Amino acid sequence: MSSELLVDVGDDSATAQLGQLKLTTIEDQQWPADESYLSKSETDVSQQFDASSPHLPWDHPFYDIARHQIIEVAGDDNFGRKVIVFNACRMPPQHQLDHHKLLMYLKGTLDQYVESDYTLIYFHHGLTSENKPSLSWVRDAYREFDRKYKKNIKALYIVHPTMFIKTLLILFKPIISFKFGRKINYVSYLSELEDVVKCDQLVIPSRVREYDNKLRASLKPTTQPPMSPPHSPPLPSQVFGVPLTLLRQRDPDGDPVPVVMRDTVGFLSEQGLEIEGIFRRSANVTLVKEVQLRYNSGATVNLREMEDVHLAAVILKTFLRELPEPLLTYQLYNDIVNFASVSSESQVTVMKTLVESLPEENYASLRYLITFLAQVSANSEVNKMTNSNLAVVFGPNLLWGRDNAMSLSAIGPINNFTRTLLDQQHLVFA
């Protein structure tokens, strides 16, 4: 993985010339349709939508954009930052895509996360002369994203960069700030992404995976990049990535709320309620892995000794995200995504019924978490974390689809359900 510094030279004449540049086609090969190994999120786009579909209805103003699933949300990275994915290979030919709408759709996605640290992953493979947007559109798109969007993006990873994209970034040096340029990283192979995010949680298009395999096969054995590490068998005392039922069986007191949740919530209740932006900041990935290892090895973890509120917040989110099944369960996925269709008069009753249908460990853990988050939002004048802000942070960590990734059309309803749960928690858990 490499990072190239892009210097802001402040040359207005160069900036003006960008709009007049004409690039010759560098990637003009036509690729076959992405037919093999399609996930549910990829195959649904061509099917008629029904009540159980997480996609936008056909009459929604962004339907034409959402159905291609160019943009996805994929949980948190290894640093506790939200991950937004952009798939170039899913862009249709230029005449079939409204690029202005695409830009507005991307802004709509980012608007939910720009107040928090976030990571953007761009899969470049599949951008061809047919679907490549104009240079002027790229320039205008960069200018459209003001400081609000650039401030908290901690990294932009360009996967499988080509000479075209590298040349483009060189051409754009006059308008790309030095500070933003330092956030741009080239990723040559998918295995390198493991340092940033667990690739299993990304729905990587099969065309991208196949291209990555071809790149590897073309290398000499001595220059082969490392493969993604294989999944190791769980430790006898494993805590992260383990079903709640098993954690309860191991607990000496049979507590249905896992020790990680008890530890982090206990510490944050004492030290974090008045910290501005709690749950919005990332943490040192080395410390996160160290704490995870200590929990997984059965060692006692004293978060008070570490005195790091943001570390504890990331550990809590990471624990929830690494559950083999989301806390709200796959069984409730369709009900929650379609919860907005429930009348306002019936929402509390329906929500209470849904929540009470959860397995005992899930219900107890959810109640424990939501009760704590209600304390956090009660201090929102100080910490700036209202129920809406907390819902944006925790919604994707409480529920996701079986393929792990979520489109903007699914993330919205999940966040809205979470916000309503926080608003009505005193009635839902009464």
Per the listing, tokens 């690494």 go with: 322
Residue scoring higher pLDDT (261 or 63): 261
**95: CB partners within 8 A, 6+ apart:** none
The architecture of the domain spanning 244-429 is Orthogonal Bundle (1.10)
Q: For the segment 110-138, what is each residue's pLDDT rounded down to a tens digit?
A: 887 888 889 999 999 999 989 998 888 88
- Extract the tokens encoding 92: 């249709």
Q: 283, exposed or middle or buried, with CB in 10 Å at 0-12, 13-18, 19+?
A: buried
* β-strand pairing of 184-187 with 82-87: unpaired
What is the domain partition of the chain in residue ranges?
62-218, 244-429
Instruction: For 155, list phi and psi in degrees, rounded to 5.
Output: -165, 140
Report the C-alpha gap between 43 and 37 in whole angstroms: 10
Average pLDDT over residues 283-304: 91
Average pLDDT over residues 128-156: 85
Instruction: For 406, list phi and psi in degrees, rounded to 5.
Output: -135, 135
Nearest to 66 by CA among 398, 395, 406: 406
Angle, CA of 58, 61 and 65, to the nearest 5°: 75
Average pLDDT over residues 39-61: 45
Per the listing, tokens 């590897």 go with: 216
Q: Where are the alpha helices (DSSP H) in 242-386?
A: 244-250, 259-271, 285-296, 303-306, 309-321, 333-337, 347-356, 360-378, 380-383
Task: Quote the pTM value.
Answer: 0.68
Average pLDDT over residues 293-313: 93
**300: CB partners within 8 A, 6+ apart:** 294
The architecture of the domain spanning 62-218 is 3-Layer(aba) Sandwich (3.40)
Q: For the segment 343-369, what is each residue's pLDDT rounded down to a tens digit?
A: 999 999 999 999 999 999 999 999 999
Q: For the segment 83-106, what is each residue's pLDDT rounded down to a tens digit?
A: 999 999 999 999 899 998 898 888
